[in-house]
Structure 1
């Protein structure tokens, strides 16, 4: 397993990117909690579930590096995408996950049963560089054994997660993670529904959506 600290010249070094591109699973900090992620491919995604001891019916989300990538991941009308764009512009990068109707040409690469997909852009330079250099998309979930608490400090990361992952990326001197998972909203038929409350209040999102 690779362990990589922050580097002054480049936050993410090339050997970590090679691990991901070769199908490896990597633990890394986001702006909320430590996540565990891999490329959107069947075997790496299955490995994430195995490491976490997670039921496959519980879906993971896509972290992306740029809003332009959305068109390849979602199946939605131009009208509805224009409608949600105000919210994405305000809260991305940030602690908001939006669940869209999935583009099955994308999700069938790793999960033939996946009808919707949660997406967000994290507000963390280290995470963004990792995602961008890996191709712009990483499928992720919190780096903890299923049923246990998510962690915001590398010292709290379960040793089983560390040992079974292919690499752990961390910045021990600058762990500015909030410790609270992102707010999750579902976007369906042009309407927003709250699924999980995080630091971004749903009432605030609704006001910006309706204005």
Structure 2
């Protein structure tokens, strides 16, 4: 995956899950912030960064001892993930430094000679990426604002740190 995208080694790889219970396979400690975020925003475009279980491979954590987990809102995606065992790695569909692909045709234009299968689920429904929120502690830290806005997060957390 990293070679296909031309991605640097130091970047972690996200896990998408079929239902919230699957997060237990990857996360060692569910903080209060984690619980609040999942209750308010999952399923949805929110990636939660939490402390990884010891058995999560370094290839996924990039040595950070944390893991990003997202429960997508698209039921068809969750069904596919469920059929594949409940969890899959995921990244944006683009070579590093290029705009994300929005359609199956754009994915094919980027990668057609290097991948075996493209599933056309229709065009991406949002121009924005998922929001990324670090919930390792009780005070959540906004790493990347996306579909879920800073204002929406501030309405649900007394304190919100913002990563600069």
TM range (shorter): 0.7 to 0.9
For residues 86-165 of structure 1, the aligned pairs below 5 Å read: 86-108=36-58, 113-157=63-107, 159-165=109-115
Report the number of matched residues.
159
**Which whole-Å deviations, capped at 9, do the CAs of 1:67-104 have from their partners, x for residues lacking one?**
11112211215xx2x45323212211111111001112
Distance, in Å, in 2 between the alignment partners of 1:60 and 1:108 is 10
Q: How much does 1:165 deviate?
A: 1.4
Query: How far apart are the structure 1 equivalents of 2:89 and 2:26?
Result: 12
Partner Cα distance (2:27, 2:125) in 1: 28
Q: Quick check: 1:52–1:144 contact (8 Å CA) kept in 2?
A: yes
Q: Secondary structure at the match of 1:177?
A: coil
Q: Which has the higher helix share?
A: 1
Higher strand residue share: 1
Q: Does 1:198 align with 2:146?
A: yes
After superposition, the Cα gap between the structure-2 partners of 1:96 and 1:90, relative to the gap in structure 1 and judged at 3 Å, is same
Name the counterpart of 2:162: none
Tell me, what secondary structure is at the counterpart of 1:194?
Answer: strand
* Higher deviation after alignment, 133-142 or 195-204: 195-204
